[in-house]
Amino acid sequence: MAEIKIPELAESITEGTIAQWVKKVGDRVEKGEFIMELETDKVNAEIISEEAGVLTQILAEEGDTVNVGQVVAIVEAGEGAAPAPAQEAPKAEAAPAQEAPKAAAPAPVVEESGERVIASPAARKLAREKGISLSAINPVDIHGRVRVQDVAAHGTAPAAAPAAAPVAFTGGPVVFAPASETDRVTIEKMSRRRQTIAKRLLEVKQSTAMLTTFNEIDMTNIMALRKRKQDGFVKENDIKLGFMSFFTKAVVAALKKYPYVNAQIQGDEIHLNNFYDIGIAVSTEEGLVVPIVRDANAKNFAEIEKDIADLASKARDKKLGLNDMAGGSFTITNGGVFGSLMSTPIMNGTQAGILGMHSIVNRPVAVNGEIEIRPMMYVALSYDHRIIDGKDSVGFLKTVKEMIENPEDLLLNS
């Protein structure tokens, strides 16, 4: 017999939430086979079986919070013949149906109405206890699978109140009571990762003297250079030349010139980083994650583009590892891909600065005393004023602007 325990993933991770079981009781599992997905506040981890055999017990359901070292399943030697379904007691008010062995994977259930509903065993059990028809529950899952959280939310939702009689206005303050109708409010439980994102953003706002400075960049030259070099770049490197590699290179050059933007506060000390691990914010369904392009100063444009593409793909597929996001000395976020014209980005963790890119918009600008239409981008630097003075923050952003507007200079700094 082998116990499946929640492994130690990182020093800062002590618990997680079971996202899904990919095996059910009675299934054959091989040594090293993926049997359960664990969601932590940083990454989704695939939990494997250390032994081959049959999954005979599942000790924690999907949605349960489990701690590092906790036993969540039992694997015993065997060939994996699926257990026979449990017999149900005859229908009678005094004799509830006998439960089948606990299984974590949702299974289809045919309701009395004839409707086919997919629900987890825990959800079916709770629905029976509450006397709720599974077909009456609106699951959060986009595939329509009913889980125990859906049943609990349905069971605790208040019944619709009868229509209130008209009340004459007396001249006092108007108070709006929360809507009691269940179809007017949809309640979703925050994912563990969303809770962590919210907590850390609030901590940054409360623990730093954050300030934001702005500038604008004329993108004419870099767009022309990118257009000229694109075909040859793709042919040689099998990846497109994007703007992010230019901005990463420009940021590295600016960080070298203004090292306090690449620093951190540790107690009463300022730690000046002599490395350039640049975080690139990536949007996922559960919020922003910030994987790291390591040693960006030592990489060429193609290497940076490939790193960014690989990390973005892993982020969307929930395959990022802890090493992909640990550390980082500075962050770049691009709200322009969503149409943002201007924003004040919040710094990432203990870093002292973050650069916000925005949409490229054709605007009239003065060029050598003449009005011209140019592709312009607003950029923002949010920084910790405890470390970085206004002179350095403005100088940093001006350096990024000059590098992007004169992209040939980036080649000299590579």
Q: What is the pLDDT of residues 20-56, one digit of tens each?
A: 898 888 888 888 888 888 888 767 788 888 888 888 8
Among 28, 50, 76, the domain boundary falls at 76
Q: Where are the strands (E) in 59-146, listed by range?
A: 65-67, 71-76, 107-110, 116-119
Phi and psi (nearest 5°) for 284?
Answer: -125, 175
Q: What is the CATH number of the domain that holds 7?
A: 2.40.50.100
End-to-end CA distance of the chain: 57
Three-class SS of residue 206?
A: helix
Distance CA 354, CA 332 (A): 6
The pLDDT tens digits for 107-123 are 555 555 555 667 665 67
Band (91; pLDDT cuts 50, 70, 90): very low
**Mean pLDDT, residues 117-137:** 73
More confident residue, 154 or 364: 364
Nearby residues of 348 by Cβ (< 8 Å), 6 or more positions away:
204, 279, 281, 290, 328, 331, 354
Q: Which residue has the higher pLDDT, 256 or 107?
A: 256
SS3 assignment, position 48: strand
Q: Please write the tens of the pLDDT for every residue from 328-379.
A: 999 999 999 999 999 999 998 889 999 999 999 999 999 999 999 999 999 9
pLDDT digits (tens, 9 = 90+) for 227-239: 999 999 999 999 9
Six-digit token string for 397 = 């952003």
CA 14, CA 42: separation in Å to the nearest integer? 11
Distance CA 194, CA 286 (A): 6
Distance CA 335, CA 245 (A): 16
pLDDT value of position 33: 85
- Do residues 398 and 379 make contact, with C-beta atoms less than 8 angstroms apart? no
Domain count, the chain: 2
The pLDDT value given to residue 102:
40
Please compute the mean of the pLDDT values over residues 214-226 and round it to a whole number. Answer: 96
Task: Examine the domain organization and report whether 210 and 67 are in the same domain.
Answer: no
- Name residue 210's beta-bridge partners: 384
| Confidence grade of residue 414 (pLDDT, cut at 50, 70, 90) | low
Do the Cβ atoms of 163 and 138 come closer than 8 Å? no
Mean pLDDT, the chain, whole residue set: 81
- Alpha carbon distances (Å) from 345 to 29, 59, 342: 46, 42, 9
User: Which of the following is catalytic: 218, 385, 392, 409?
Assistant: 385
Q: Does residue 339 lie in a domain region?
A: yes
Predicted local distance difference test score (pLDDT) of residue 93:
44
Q: Which of 23, 53, 76 is where one domain is finished?
A: 76
Least reliable range by pLDDT among 46-60, 270-284, 298-312, 342-356: 46-60
The DSSP symbol for 25 reads T
pLDDT band at 132 (very low <50, low <70, confident <90, very high): confident
Q: How confident is the model at residue 84 (pLDDT cuts 50, 70, 90)?
A: very low
The answer to whether residue 125 is domain-embedded is no
Parent domain of 24:
2-76
List pLDDT tens digits, range 163-197: 444 444 445 555 555 554 567 788 888 877 778 77
Is the per-residue pLDDT at 73 higher than 80?
A: yes
The active-site residue out of 238, 324, 389, 409 is 389
Residue 126 reports pLDDT greater than 80: no
Q: Looking at the domain assignment, is residue 208 inside a domain? A: yes
385 counts as catalytic: yes
Record the tokens describing residue 253, joined without a space.
């050059």
Task: Name 146's bridge partners.
Answer: 119
Domain assignment of residue 96, yes or no: no
Whether 142 is covered by a domain: the verdict is no
Please, which pLDDT band fits residue 302 given cuts at 50, 70 and 90? very high
Last residue of a domain, one of 47, 76, 105: 76
Q: How far apart are CA 371 and CA 342, in angstroms?
A: 23
Strands, DSSP E only, in 81-197?
Answer: 107-110, 116-119
**For residues 144-169, average pLDDT:** 58
Residue 162 lies in a domain: no
Q: To 10 degrees, the CA torsion angle through 62, 13, 280, 354?
A: 120
State pTM to two decimals. Answer: 0.62
CB count within 10 Å of CB 65 equals 12
* Per-residue pLDDT band at 198 (split at 50, 70, 90): confident
Confirm whether 182 is domain-assigned: no
Looking up residue 352, the CATH number of its domain turns out to be 3.30.559.10
| Within a domain: 274 | yes
Determine the Cα–Cα distance for residues 347 and 272; give it in Å rounded to an integer: 17
